[in-house]
Structure 1
Amino acid sequence: MVPASPVARPLRHVARALFPCVWRGKYFSSGNEPAESNRVTPMFRHLMYKIKSTGPITVAEYMKEVLTNPDKGYYVHHDMLGEKGDFITSPEISQIFGELVGIWFISEWMSSGKSSAFQLVELGPGRGTLTGDILRVFSQLGSVLKTCDISVHLVEVSQKLSEFQALTLTDKKIPLERDAESLVYMKGVTKSGIPVSWYRDLKDVPKGYSFYLANEFFDVLPIHKFQCGETRDHIEVCPEAGVIIQELSQRIALTGGAALIADYGHDGTKTDTFRGFCSHKLHDVLIAPGTADLTADVDFSYLRRMTQGKAASLGPIQQQTFLKNMGIDVRLKVLLDKADEPSVRQQLLHGYNMLMNPKKMGERFNFFALLPHQRLQVGSHQMGTCQSKPSASSPVAGFGELTWQ
């Protein structure tokens, strides 16, 4: 097995040679892109200078530079979400998604003993929509959480997106605290009075009993691509995802809590998934770098291995199954009964279809969870095996048959 050919100069001419990637059975690089799409972007010039100075770069380095370079990175300076952006995420499609995720965290909090305090930590919070929906659920169930001290911690590298998050979440009457040199580069108070802090790295978030959330976060982490043999079979590996999973697993093992990961991916069955998105359409990964999102399917089997036995893992299970188990049909009916305007009802039904339809997001997206081992050991102490079913009194919400690993 040898590494895939590095991304070298000239970038756009090697695109079709290096990445004849297939997505849903279609090549996303046709070789006939219009001339205007081949424009020289600031990121293109930066990469050219970098390659001329230090030599060829790997796919992972290319992906990291294009997405998160502090000066020219796609995520650092673009508003990529929504209809006017390059892609849209589940929380932006329907409020029900975030509400059910909020219920999941409350369920786990109750099942694990109703601790007196917990941190809600989101990795890559987008515009803050998902955290906002979760906090609304927390407020609506205030009688349940009234004795619990909650704080919000957001891990975000993009200054532009952190500003959107602040607009979505914080009380405008209370000014934000800013310190670019601190590990906590911004602080505020949410509309419901909960303290919220911003960090650039998960390792900077204080350790403590926490619920971690990552929605469409792992798919944008840099991947290494390898090719094996004359058949050019692809293997994609994301070391950074492994490091983050190890950090989450260690934290959960030491201080408790849980992590919920939602993303598109596979359980070790796919090979060549690296692709780009621009204006909701597939985009050649090496054309006009810095103007499009780069992504690759998450290998959940790799995430499971990277727990290194420190935490138990559940899933992946398809999004439609998880949301149905969480009661999406009941919640939809409640909202439809309350909706007076036809346009609101139509929007609710459209969002439900996007989330649940197997041909849209229902089967392509998956949920994956990390939990303390003892959370799944109820009723299994005498079985002497790694595989067991929890007792009926303490199931993990959203998941069906459980495998303790």
Structure 2
Amino acid sequence: MLRHLVTKIKATGPISVAEYMREVLTNPVTGYYVNNDMLGPDGDFITSPEISQVFGELLGVWCVSEWMGAGRPSSLQLVELGPGRGSLMNDILRVLGQLRSALGQTELSVHLVEVSPRLSQVQAQLLTGAQNQQADSEDQPVYRHGTSPAGLPVSWYRQLDDVPRGFSIFLAHEFFDALPVHKFQRTPRGWREVMVDVDPEDQLRFVIIPAPTLASSSLIQVDEKRDHVEVCPGGGVIVQRLSNRIAEDGGAALIADYGHDGTKTDTFRGFKGHRLHPVLEAPGSADLTADVDFSYLRKMAARRGVACLGPLPQRDFLRNMGVDTRMQVLLRSCEDPARRTQLIHSYDLLTSPDHMGLRFQFLCLLAQSRLAPAPPRPAPAPPRPAQGLKVDDKTPAPLPVAGFSELTFS
């Protein structure tokens, strides 16, 4: 990868940080995501679904709540962007199996947008076992398809545009932070782009381009107050496409990621072996990421006429979805001291301000009609013992903004 980049830069000049990220992460021959299984304790980073099954369970409840709030459409597509090892979708499908009585005869299907052939194999093994196969031709939109143990069709795509239209719940967990960003620096002569060049010893380095670039002239907001800015135009395009689908076909999208609300500056970093890694060192051997600017995503979504809720810290979202109640149920039923310790530790990692509780943010995209005033709710039934995650005909209707207001369930 280093030889490839040095040759490229010497031939054409400095490249943008966005192009550098794109080459390092998704180059079809030597890209980091194409050739590595980077998740989990033996990888370079770990995600919330790998920490605790409760995370995926609560997102499964959120999916069902949004489907109920939309009037229980006859079909429901679960679409995940960048599904990692498939752990999140696996936990969601387990919850949907437990909530099957509430879903009735709804036609369910799973659609995964994944650029890594290696990760798609890992996902397929977890979600379908041996019940999957690759497409005969690489040109086909569905490059892998299979069937879950519950009989649900599961399909894999390389891009969002190939996913069939229809009522869909979109999930993007730690997806946007890996999309390429442009970096800009305010100078006495105006905004200039930070790019990647080579020094006389053929080592990579950052440089500030002296003249304006197309990106520096078009991507900076006119009211920008910061002196250093990272902009992810690809993320804006994807949010607009999600918004178009939600506005036209119905559904919702939940974006969960490291991020901020237009306040941070330089967040571009690398991870290798669960430790920070210099972003220009040994390209292709480490993950590259940048915090998501949720204020930018909101602006892009608003142009397509959908409602945006959040960003809301992960701690608040999970508590609104009932993580405390769920953990209490698990702890009461757990007799193994080691397992109890692990449950408490995972809860702390997910919700503590010192860990993921505040660093991760949740943004929800909804059709405008979903924010109509909810009808009066009936008086609550007398308290009964908690019995885990269950939904039946006696369950109160979900709140219009599940997860962004308190949602109680048994």
TM-score (norm 1): 0.83
Pair 1:264-2:258 in alignment: yes
Pair 1:153-2:111 in alignment: yes
Instruction: Give SS of 1:273's match.
Output: coil
Contact 2:124/2:132, CA 8 A, preserved across alignment: no
Q: Which runs of 4+ in 1 moved over 6 A?
A: none
Contact 2:252/2:365, CA 8 A, preserved across alignment: yes
For 1:178 and 1:350, how far apart are their aligned partners in 2?
42
Instruction: Give SS of 1:361's match.
Output: coil
For 1:297 and 1:177, how far apart are their aligned partners in 2?
34
Deviations 1:227-263 (A, max 9, x none): 0025992111000000000000000000000000110
Instruction: Give SS of 2:237's match.
Output: helix
> Please, which of 320, 338, 348 is the counterpart of residue 353 of structure 1?
348
Aligned to 1:205: 163
The 10-residue stretch of structure 1 (138-147 or 223-232) with the greater mean CA deviation from structure 2: 223-232
* Equivalent residue letter for 2:404: F
* Equivalent residue letter for 1:373: Q
Aligned to 2:133: 176
For 2:398 and 2:336, how far apart are their aligned partners in 1?
41
CA gap 1:394/1:84 in 2 versus in 1, 3 angstroms: closer
Deviation at 1:48, TM superposition (A): 1.1
The 10-residue stretch of structure 1 (46-55 or 126-135) with the greater mean CA deviation from structure 2: 46-55
Contact 2:114/2:158, CA 8 A, preserved across alignment: yes
Pair 1:398-2:403 in alignment: yes
Pair 1:255-2:221 in alignment: no
Contact 2:321/2:402, CA 8 A, preserved across alignment: yes
RMSD over aligned Cα atoms? 1.7
Deviations 1:136-159 (A, max 9, x none): 000011111131100000000000
Deviation at 1:393, TM superposition (A): 7.6
Residue correspondences, number = 347
Q: For 1:214-293, list aligned pairs within 5 A.
A: 214-229=172-187, 233-293=227-287
* Equivalent residue letter for 1:268: G
For 1:146 and 1:171, how far apart are their aligned partners in 2?
25
Pair 1:340-2:335 in alignment: yes
For 2:74 and 2:400, how far apart are their aligned partners in 1?
22
Deviation at 1:53, TM superposition (A): 2.3
For 1:345 and 1:379, how far apart are their aligned partners in 2?
39
For 1:400 and 1:132, how far apart are their aligned partners in 2?
26
For 1:92 and 1:394, how far apart are their aligned partners in 2?
28
Deviations 1:52-90 (A, max 9, x none): 222221110001100011100001111111111110000
Instruction: Give SS of 2:115's match.
Output: coil
Deviations 1:253-296 (A, max 9, x none): 00000000110100111111111111111111000000011000
Q: What 5-or-longer segments of structure 1 have no aligned partner?
A: 1-42, 381-391
For 2:107 and 2:368, how far apart are their aligned partners in 1?
25
Aligned to 1:15: none
Aligned to 1:18: none
Aligned to 1:136: 94
Instruction: Give SS of 1:362's match.
Output: coil
Instruction: Give SS of 1:97's match.
Output: helix
For 1:47 and 1:150, how far apart are their aligned partners in 2?
44
Deviation at 1:309, TM superposition (A): 4.0
For 2:305 and 2:128, how far apart are their aligned partners in 1?
35
CA gap 1:275/1:209 in 2 versus in 1, 3 angstroms: same
TM-score (norm 2): 0.82
For 1:167 and 1:248, how far apart are their aligned partners in 2?
28
Q: What 5-or-longer segments of structure 2 have no aligned partner?
A: 191-225, 376-396
Deviation at 1:175, TM superposition (A): 4.2
For 1:97 and 1:213, how far apart are their aligned partners in 2?
13
* Equivalent residue letter for 2:78: L
Instruction: Give SS of 2:15's match.
Output: coil
Deviation at 1:397, TM superposition (A): 1.1
For 1:71 and 1:379, how far apart are their aligned partners in 2?
52
For 1:79 and 1:274, how far apart are their aligned partners in 2?
21
Contact 2:310/2:362, CA 8 A, preserved across alignment: yes
> Please, which of 271, 293, 310 is the counterpart of residue 305 of structure 2?
310
For 1:250 and 1:68, how far apart are their aligned partners in 2?
26
Percentage of matched positions with identical amino acids: 62
For 1:56 and 1:360, how far apart are their aligned partners in 2?
37
Instruction: Give SS of 1:336's match.
Output: helix
Contact 2:374/2:399, CA 8 A, preserved across alignment: no
Contact 2:244/2:304, CA 8 A, preserved across alignment: no
For 1:158 and 1:346, how far apart are their aligned partners in 2?
35
Aligned to 1:34: none
Instruction: Give SS of 1:206's match.
Output: coil
For 1:102 and 1:400, how far apart are their aligned partners in 2?
16
* Equivalent residue letter for 1:347: Q
Deviation at 1:340, TM superposition (A): 2.5
Deviation at 1:378, TM superposition (A): 2.5
For 2:75 and 2:106, how far apart are their aligned partners in 1?
5
